[in-house]
Every structure is written in C-alpha cells, then in structure tokens.
Amino acid sequence: MIPIRVDDATFVIPVPAKGQNMEITSVVAEPVGSTCPTGPTGDPNARISSVDFSIGLGNLPNGRSAGQLSINSPKVQPELFSPACLLNRSYFANGVEVRKDATGLPTQIVAPQCVVDVTTVDASGYTLLLYRPEQKGSLDPQTGRYALSGTPYNTYRIESSDGGATSDGLTITQTHDGKTKSFGFTNFRVWRVGLTTGDGTRVEFVDRAGYWRREQETRRILDSAGKLVSERITVTKIFLLVSTRWRSGILTDPSGSAYRSTATSYYEVKNVDGAAYGHVKEEVQSEGGWTRYNLRHEWVRG
C-alpha cells in the first residue's frame, strides 16, 4: 500500500504488481461532505455501480469528514469476506487511528465520534461494531485493542450469502435501534451485480457487456413483486484514447410507451476530422429534436 497525504487527509492506494506502472493523473478537490458523509456516524450508503457500500465515520472537531469505511469491487469475490478489503478503498482523515493485528488486518478504527471494533468471524465474514467515544477505555498492550464497555449502538455483519468462502453473493446486515436492514449484492453473470435493500421492496441490477469498441450498461429496478419499474441503457463507444457516450435511454414504463433515448454519432475518421476526432457530430432525441456540430464544434439545433 502507498499512503498519499493531501491537506489533512491520508489516502491509501494499492501497490501495482511487478511489471505494472501506476501514476496519479489528477487530484480533484470536492466540497466538504460531497464524497464522504458528514452525517450521523455509522450511517450506511449502498450504490449499484458495482459492489459499492460505505459507512460514515462522522466528523472531525473542525467539522470536516473523518472519513468512511468502504467496500468496493467490480463484482462479488472472496476478498470482500475479509476485513482486509476495508484497507483498499476506505478513507481516513488525519487524526483517525487505525489499529491492526500482527497479520495486518484492521482490528479497530478510532475516530473522534465513534470507535469501530472489527472482528473476523470466519473465512466467510466479519463484523463491525460501532461504539460511542465515551465507551472507549484504555489500550490493552497485549491485544493492541482499546477496551470497550456496554453494547454497540450500531452493528454490521458482512458475509457471503451462502456461508461459503467462495460465494457469488455478499450480504451486509445492519442492526440499529432494534431494527434490521439488509443489503445484498449478487453476481448473476461475470458482469452483472444485483442489490437488494430493506425487505426486498427494491431490487436493482446492473449489467455490463463489452464488444468491439463498445460497452453497454443496463440498469434495472424491480419492485417487491419482481415487476420492472425502471430501465436505463447506456452504450459507450470507444475511440483511440477516448471513451464517449454513444447512446443512452431510460424506460419508466415496461410497456415502452415512456421510453426516451438519445442517439449520438461522432467524428470517427481521424485523418479527415483532425481535432474533431472523437467529438460529437450529431445528437438525435427520440422525441424528434436534434443537435448537429461542425468540425469546429459549433452547433445547430432543430
């Protein structure tokens, strides 16, 4: 791992494998709280971009985010069943203490507004127990952990869906104020991930497929009865060193009557189009509107 310090935060990125190169191409400043939650500590956030789940660590004394625990992967894989994955994508601000055991696995994350106790259950999962700062005692030099009193106010169980170490499903169960909420990520094919939230009242799927210089992503939302309520399709065309959206559409009515789409064509002949290569040539909306661009990227609409 390579630590990178920016302002008052430290980011950790994985070391590339031998023979591979890695470089930082840009660092983008975001408003406070735009990417790391600054709300109540322990609040979950699940997204369907792939396997994408995070837990906020609250704020620093200056009001800025203390960071977040993140589980992020293109698909469900065995590495997600170990707390080691928390070190790959999580963000910790300076002043947040990350304690590890002799093998390098995280055991506790100590932030100003919470203490997260990390315990490996077995090869198929682990738990995250969140405590208030006033529940933290002294550090035990033998275990390398802070003593914690009382019961956690928020708990998470992260595990494979079938209890095996090589499952295609990941289940995250939160218990808070006597209520339980579950999040489930499932691989249906190599590039399909599903997310089920709550008691199954909302199910989301994302499919990705790649073929000659094109990539297609399809996102669907189903209700508890399995009925399709929304579908969004995006096709991206890949030029030399350029990736641009080629076609996108959203279906809000399974009958197709509410389907809206935009088809986009591009300047694709490099030795003829010059600097316009890879730029938009024409956009046509399903409602009939269109926008055309010349080689100087000036547009005309109709």
In a domain, 228, yes or no: yes
Low-confidence ranges of the chain (pLDDT < 50): 1, 6-11, 25-39, 189-191, 242-243, 245-247
Both 182 and 240 in one domain: the answer is no
Both 157 and 257 in one domain: the answer is no
In a domain, 22, yes or no: no
> 54-71: string of b/e by CB count within 10 Å (b at 16+)?
bbbbbbbeeebbbbbbbb
Cα–Cα distance for residue pair 251/229, rounded to 1 Å: 8
Both 119 and 51 in one domain: the answer is yes
Q: What is the pLDDT of residues 176-201, one digit of tens each?
A: 888 888 888 877 644 455 666 655 56
Both 140 and 251 in one domain: the answer is no
Both 9 and 153 in one domain: the answer is yes
In a domain, 193, yes or no: no
In a domain, 9, yes or no: yes
Cα–Cα distance for residue pair 300/282, rounded to 1 Å: 9
Both 236 and 301 in one domain: the answer is yes
> 197-215: string of b/e by CB count within 10 Å (b at 16+)?
beeeeebbbbbbeeeeeeb
Query: Residue 191 carries which DSSP code?
Result: T
Task: Tell me the one-letter amino acid at 136.
Answer: K
Which of 162, 186, 210 is a domain's end point? 186
Both 293 and 152 in one domain: the answer is no
Tell me how far CA of residue 54 lies from CA of 67, 160, 198, 291, in angstroms: 10, 17, 16, 40
Both 91 and 147 in one domain: the answer is yes
Per the structure, the complete domain to which residue 273 belongs is given by: 201-302
pLDDT at 38: 44
pLDDT at 33: 36
Both 180 and 239 in one domain: the answer is no
Cα–Cα distance for residue pair 114/177, rounded to 1 Å: 16
Both 149 and 5 in one domain: the answer is yes
Which of 186, 219, 244 is a domain's end point? 186
Compute the chain's Rg from CA coordinates: 23
In a domain, 28, yes or no: no
In a domain, 30, yes or no: no
Tell me how far CA of residue 115 lies from CA of 110, 130, 142, 147, in angstroms: 5, 6, 19, 11
Both 245 and 269 in one domain: the answer is yes
Beta bridge partners of 117: 108, 129
Which of 155, 186, 217 is a domain's end point? 186
Cα–Cα distance for residue pair 108/118, rounded to 1 Å: 6
In a domain, 302, yes or no: yes
3-state secondary structure of 245: strand
Name the maximum alpha-carbon separation found in the chain: 74
Phi then psi dihedrals of residue 79, to 5 deg: -60, -25
If one counts the domains in the chain, the total is 2
Cα–Cα distance for residue pair 60/203, rounded to 1 Å: 35
Both 64 and 144 in one domain: the answer is yes
Nearest by Cα to 219 from 190, 193, 246, 245 = 193
Phi then psi dihedrals of residue 290, to 5 deg: -150, 160
